[in-house]
Structure 1
Amino acid sequence: MKGIHYLDGRRLARAITAGMLQLQNSREELDRINVFPVADGDTGLNMAHTAQAVILALAESPSRSAGEVAQSAARGALYGARGNSGVILAQFLHGLAEAWEDKARLDTRDVALGLKAAAESARNGLSNPREGTILSVMSAVGIGALDVSPEGELTALLSAAREAADDAVQKTPEQLEVLRRAGVVDAGGAGLAQLLGGIEQLVRTGRGAEAGEFAGAARALAGTAHAHDLGEESEFRYCTECMISGQDLTPAGIREEIQPLGDSIVVAGGARIVRLHIHTDRPHEVFAVAQEHGEVSSEKADDMHVQFALLNGSRVPIGCDSGADIPAELVRDLRITTAPLRIHLGEQGYLDELGLPADWLWRAMEDHGERAQTATPPRGDMERVMGFLAGHFPESVWITLAGAVSGTADVSRSVASEMTGGKVRVVDSVNVSIGHGLIVQHAAEWARQGAGADEIIAALPPLLEAARTFGVIEDLSHGVRGGRISPRIKQLSDLLKVDALLGIGRNGTVKACGVQRRSGDRVKRFARYVLKRFPTHQPLRIAVAHANRPESGQRLHELLVESVPNLVSSYVTELGAVVSAHAGPGALLAAAIPALPVRPAPETRAA
């Protein structure tokens, strides 16, 4: 491809693919220097994922038209974009596609004007553009490309663009204080420089970048410190994204609507497809705004505070799905990584908890009679979370919702086996809700004490065996509809005017344990029932969950706490949507596990 003056569809597809492969080769270094906007160590992973989506889209595009190839690349990026830099890159490609629309071939001037338009498009996609970021590098590329003679060869233009990118990347610490303090350059900008370097090398030499090649931009000022130790935690907790598909979408209008909900806002795309990115504490409100504009898909909300904490001191991360009901403060304090399951309410799907808060679910079920259903999480959700763990830690432990009641355990095992090279070890909790949560809490405390993955996994079986979880259900109709409870149990409950008592069997299945009268003090009666079945002779951890009955939940917690002589810890929390969908509003759960040491006592080991 030496001495060329134009790019047709095939040449453009090869060039973009080469650039994206070079970007993927840079993943680890980009993760290492990632400190802005959040030091969560995933810029390389996010940009590599976006690049992969572009590569796959181009592989499926046989067009000879440069404009159509650019459209395919932009569409692939929008669907596959992850993270702040990934969505900005998608908007950059969208700008290129708009500039090159209806062009079968691109000459040097077309490419230069396209790069300038793409930089402006990316900047316009942000609510608060910052210098010293990938935006500064994009702007420098656009200006550098226009300085080349429009009559010249494309190799000269692409060399000028790459050099402008490298220079701009090295200047980012002068523009952004957090980069200067950390001694690194902007990771997103460095990724763009890699992409352009891969394109320029292919056009100049006819070959793509080799794995491991890395231009000076990303290494400049990288230093030897682990960048995350010098970064800052985000003001907001969740890195939230989704796709919106519809007609006559207005990215600028959507961006304005979500402006009050957070920062790091990027809204990329056009009239039919939009990719939304925001850092927020209210993902459910962001998704609600998105639903007003079209069909919402690819929702995600990653906990940046937990990621930041993990990267600053954790040895063995503990993870679980959202079937485990654990108070938010414990999740953060113990650095527990979570993957949200999926809930369907009517025709609409939601992320558990983050997309559908428990009070929204209860109101829909109690006030409007809507039916809630749970669903096995998409494989991509697990791949994203486990990929983060495997990319940063040599070992971690993932504890799933009981495999007997959900396909989540199977998905988790499959992803861990195929995608993490054995770095993520999966254990079935054989429990649900707060029983599952207590097991995860105990494992996370073992990890904080310094236990390794092998030790934690070896210590879990007696804990799983001894765990006890019970529930009292006001309305069994929700469980019957979901197939978790036999219709005969409901018929008997209604006939005798009693509440059903349910428990988790040793294999993780839900089973009927008995009944209690609906009249009188049902909370006290339930407390007496579970205390007879808790192993109160040994140190215990207990937990209580309620479905829209906070007073009853608090009272049950108080009754249990005052009756357990060897209490190590306890908590009361809302019953999550996963179990609420089947138990219904009014349900109360109580769980207990023994407080076991992860290692034998020193004298025992010596013996």
Structure 2
Amino acid sequence: MAVTVRLAFIVAAAHAALKAQAARINELNVYPVPDGDTGTNMLLTLESVLKETSGRSYDSVEAAVKAGARAALMGARGNSGVILSQMIRGACEVLARRTTFTAEDFAAALEGAERRAYASIRQPVEGTMLTVIRDAARAAREALKEKGADLPTVIRAAAREAHASVRRTPQLLGVLREAGVVDAGGLGVAVILDGLYACVSGKRVEEEESAPEEGGAPDLEAIHAAEEAWGYCTEFFVNGFSGDPRELEEWMHGAGKSVLVVADEDLVKVHLHTQDPGRALSYASGYGRLSGVKVEDMEAQVRSRSEEEVPARELAVVAASRGEGNRGMFEAMGVLVVEGGQGANPSAADLLRAVERSGAREVVLLPNNKNIVPTAEQVAEMSEARVHVLPTTSIAAGLATMVGYDPEGEPEEVVGEMREILQGLRCAEITRAVRSARVEGRKVPEGAFIGLLDGALVAVGESVEEAAVQVCRTLVEDGAEIVTLLCGEGLEEEELGRLLERVRGLDEELEVEVKRGGQPLYPLQVVAE
């Protein structure tokens, strides 16, 4: 029990430190786009571990760290979150074989984090969070050689070297150097180490500009905010508690999800999501008198979408998407939509729930955002269904790929057709620069509209129209025959009309389609065939 409490305390400190710096980390995109979310993705991944470890007890250190590693994987969001989850997993694999948390244990855990993180990436790139964890691990190991090196000393050495490594990332990665930023994920790793140092020493790392935020305890009133709408959120107190809290907790785990049982002398608070709150209340009343009972129907707001049972089928499609128009188009084609995309990446658990809900033996997963692709690949490893991840990097690409979907067709043939369509697409996004930058040799003023074609900067203009025309001209010159414009928030009808006239004027044989998706942050997405 003592080891578990210490684990939760450490995780809370790391979470608090990262929370204080998340906005700063989000601003460090190479491209000055408005959906920077590295800090948020790492924070939500760590928050998943915090929820798992807080208020919980385990039979052994091994059980505790395995639960933490599992929570990190299920809560992973975006590329940075997935890599962080692998670091946590690697550290947990080392700690699971130990019964202490000494300076040597910490150094070994960092080395485990480094090994697992590098192993999870097919082509590791230096100048990223991988480099930072490697340098931090080496610094920790070197610090152990100093006489009298205790746990705070070793963590401090790792944190200081992590920040130094972050400052060196532009020297290793040209795109960082040109954009004038350091690696965002690397800074997140350094900040987490700051939090660990603050936890064990009560001090802060000298290089940091701001001290880690205090607190970090989980908000039991809002724990269901990140969960799916399922059953009833049920909370209550048991006064004059008589019995074993672990026995009550074990029973509640069998009765629902998102269970927390927090004991304080003769008062116990219970939180769970269950389809039968009356049964849970009746059972708990055997331990004492109930008070503060609160039962909320979590499915009420989405019943129109969720109450119809999804029929069993051989092949289904799950897609991440934002914007009501986009959701409507996907659902009209039989797709199960997970809310998420630019600036709000879904977790592995979110995607896995949708895959399982489809009831299909095989599922096509459309991430529709480059930062969701790594998370989708994790789902493919966790699901009992056979999951085919088609690495769509925009909602427009996902919609275009659905042309090849036939729910009654042979899965292998359908997936092959969809994959072939995707390979023939070129995808572009128009958004507004949130800061001045120099990218790929071009100056990008703050507030300018930029066009990214297949991930590369090809247009800078004073309006959506200007940037979009530059992008479409490039596509036409490269032989595009069909161009689809997916309109998002912020694109006015008048501007769209002018844009259509100019795009159609690029080539009289060019076929131009317009769809209204309503996605935020990107007023226009373009896909060409």
Q: Give the TM-score taking structure 1 as reference length.
A: 0.40
Q: Which has the larger radius of gyration?
A: 1
Q: Give the TM-score taking structure 2 as reference length.
A: 0.45
